[in-house]
């Protein structure tokens, strides 16, 4: 019954293999196959519209994906009373989901601040930094794990990204990522660069001296670019693409949205971050 929904999820970049196909209007989290085993960054809500049709909203908190889906035409026309009741239930569910997400983000932000206070200054010879040939730029570490703080446009910490010595990454569960970023370098003067990953951003900063905003993923480049364009309406903004089709497409879209430019940096003289 939900094959079309699964196809829509796949087309948006979300593997529906672990998604619970339960049409009860509840927000359900699930594991994304591309993430760490214990994570549940995917979410799905399916609504039974009561007329033979279904609606759903789904996405990924980690990648900033948020989509909606509707099934085919209704088998019968709903009465005015039924339409009103349906609209009321949808509004109640939206408020409930928004509150659940707000609480999840708030708990993550509080835990992030506590962990950040416990963490020590990152050592320059950390295996990941040595491999990428970059300096720590204010990062901290817990044991041997690098800690990257995530901030919103109001400079409030929303969570953390953890980078292991082997380069594997994960976010603190509940971290608000969409439209949030990490900054390397001073406050922007006349130029601001954007990059997906921290190591790429660190390399760009060391090569150019321009501050760089880390979006953490291709899908989050545009949301970050938009909030920072609002904050810095007159400066030059350059989106630096990862060297793959998804990276180039995301960089082009982000640059167009902020009246900026995009480039694909050449890291041929050192290891690609």
The residue from 82, 109, 136 where one domain ends is 109
Alpha carbon 79 to its chain's center? 40
Angle formed by the axes of helices 245-257 and 218-231, nearest 10°: 20
Q: Which domain holds residue 84?
A: 3-109
Cα distance between residue 61 and residue 178, in whole Å: 7
Find the CATH number of the domain harbouring 238: 3.40.1360.10
Which regions of the chain are under pLDDT 70? Answer: 1, 74-76, 268-273
Residue 225 C-alpha from the chain's centroid: 13
In a domain, 33, yes or no: yes
Whether residues 11 and 98 share a domain: the answer is: yes
Are residues 11 and 88 both part of a single domain?
yes
Domain end position, chosen among 83, 109, 135: 109
Alpha-carbon distance 214 to 80, whole Å? 49
Does a structural domain hold residue 115? no
Question: Does 118 reside within a domain?
Answer: no
My answer on whether 9 and 87 are in the same domain is yes
Domain membership of residue 161 (yes or no) is no
Q: Are residues 99 and 188 in the same domain?
A: no
- Measured between alpha carbons, how far is 13 from 197 in angstroms, rounded to an integer? 19
> Which phi and psi (to 5°) does residue 237 adopt?
-120, 130
Give 68's strand partners: 57
Contacts of 110 (CB under 8 A, 6+ apart): none
Return the residue matching tokens 């730029």: 137
**Cα 38 to Cα 232: distance, rounded to the nearest angstrom:** 38
pLDDT at 213: 98
pTM: 0.76
**Does 182 share its domain with 87?**
no
- Which pLDDT score, from 0 to 100, does residue 34 have? 77
d(Cα 69, Cα 136) in Å, to the nearest integer? 43
* Any domain includes 130: no
What is the sign of the dihedral through the CA atoms of 251, 266, 191 and 178? Answer: positive
Helices (H) and strands (E) in the chain — how many of each?
A: 6, 14
pLDDT of residue 272: 44
Number of domains observed in the structure of the chain: 2
**Residue 102 located in a structural domain:** yes
Residue 131 domain flag = no
Contacts of 83 (CB under 8 A, 6+ apart): none
Helix (H, G, I), strand (E, B) or coil at 126: coil
On whether residue 69 sits in a domain, the answer given is yes
CA distance 96 to 264: 42
Distance (Å, rounded) from C-alpha 53 to C-alpha 46? 11
Q: How many residues are listed for the chain in this entry?
A: 273
């Amino acid at each position: 019954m939900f094959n079309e929904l699964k196809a829509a999820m796949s087309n948006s970049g979300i593997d529906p293999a672990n998604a619970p196909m339960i049409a009860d209007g509840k927000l359900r989290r699930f594991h994304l196959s591309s993430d760490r085993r214990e994570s549940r960054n995917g979410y799905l809500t399916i609504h039974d519209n009561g007329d033979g049709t279904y609606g759903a909203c789904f996405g990924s908190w980690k990648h900033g994906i948020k989509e909606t889906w509707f099934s085919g035409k209704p088998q019968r026309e709903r009465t005015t009373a039924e339409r009103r009741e349906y609209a009321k239930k949808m509004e109640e569910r939206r408020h409930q989901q928004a509150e659940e997400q707000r609480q999840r983000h708030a708990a993550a932000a509080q835990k992030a601040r506590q962990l950040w206070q416990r963490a020590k200054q990152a050592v320059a010879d950390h295996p990941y930094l040595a491999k990428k040939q970059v300096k720590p730029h204010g990062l901290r570490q817990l044991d041997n794990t690098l800690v990257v703080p995530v901030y919103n446009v109001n400079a409030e910490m929303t969570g953390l990204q953890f980078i292991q010595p082997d380069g594997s990454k994960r976010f603190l569960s509940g971290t608000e990522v969409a439209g949030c970023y990490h900054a390397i370098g001073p406050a922007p003067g006349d130029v601001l660069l954007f990059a997906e990953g921290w190591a790429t951003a660190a390399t760009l900063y060391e090569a150019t001296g321009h501050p760089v905003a880390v979006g953490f993923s291709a899908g989050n480049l545009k949301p970050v670019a938009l909030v920072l364009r609002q904050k810095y309406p007159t400066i030059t903004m350059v989106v630096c693409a990862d060297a793959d089709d998804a990276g180039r497409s995301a960089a082009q879209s982000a640059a167009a949205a902020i009246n900026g430019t995009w480039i694909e940096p050449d890291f041929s003289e050192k290891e690609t971050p």
